[in-house]
Amino acid sequence: MCEANAYVIRDGKEELVMEAVDTVEPDNGDLRIVNIFGDQKVLHARIKSLELVNHKIILEEKRVIPGSP
Amino acid sequence: MCEANAYVIRDGKEELVMEAVDTVEPDNGDLRIVNIFGDQKVLHARIKSLELVNHKIILEEKRVIPGSP
């Protein structure tokens, strides 16, 4: 299988948020992550980078700017 | 191998931009895509979504807004 693990950068460190990710897609300003088992998470984040041979998806959380949509 | 193919959405259609992609990373406002053979492309785009089991990376081109960085 060719899924990857999703990490979010927090305080400069990679924190694992989901293993065996299949799809990642925008969801009303957020990001919906679904793994091969059908588990879902929605994060206020964007996809920063990919290292597919290393099975890594790196996400970064969006900053919340008051008054922005 | 677990690489994927990168597509960009143009006129509502997926156009293949690179096969066998390993890494995708931000590069000074653009997006640098490198495949397992070491070929590189730089696009003014962002990562929109992933379908890893289908080996798909979907990119969308950023709109160029005059006067914006």
pLDDT tens for A10-56 read 988 999 999 999 999 999 999 999 999 999 999 999 999 999 999 99
Distance from C-alpha of B48 to C-alpha of A31, rounded to nearest angstrom: 10
In a domain, A63, yes or no: no
Residue B65: strand pairing partners = none
pLDDT given for residue A63 in this prediction: 79
ipTM of the complex: 0.87
Contact between chains at B50 and A57 (C-beta distance less than 8 A): yes
Q: Is residue B69 part of a domain?
A: no
Task: Specify the pLDDT at position A47.
Answer: 95
Chain B residues within an 8 Å CB radius of A22:
51-53
Q: What is the pLDDT of residue B63?
A: 79
CB B4 to CB A2 under 8 A? yes
A12 inside domain: yes
Q: Which of B1, B21, B25, B50 to mutate to test the interface with A (most CBs of A within 10 A)?
A: B50
Integer Cα distance of A10 and B12 in angstroms: 35
Is B57 a member of any domain? yes
Does residue A35 form part of some domain?
Answer: yes
Contacts of A37 in chain B (CB under 8 A): none
Range of the domain at A18: 4-57
- B41 inside domain: yes
Mean pLDDT value of segment B46-57: 96
In a domain, A32, yes or no: yes
N-term to C-term CA, chain A: 37
Mean pLDDT of B27-50: 96
**Do residues B44 and B29 touch, judged by C-beta distance below 8 A?**
yes
Decide if A68 is inside a domain: no
Q: What is the mean pLDDT of residues B2-11?
A: 91
Cβ contact A46:A62 at 8 Å:
yes
Count structural domains, chain A. Answer: 1
**Distance (Å, whole) CA A58 – CA A66:** 25
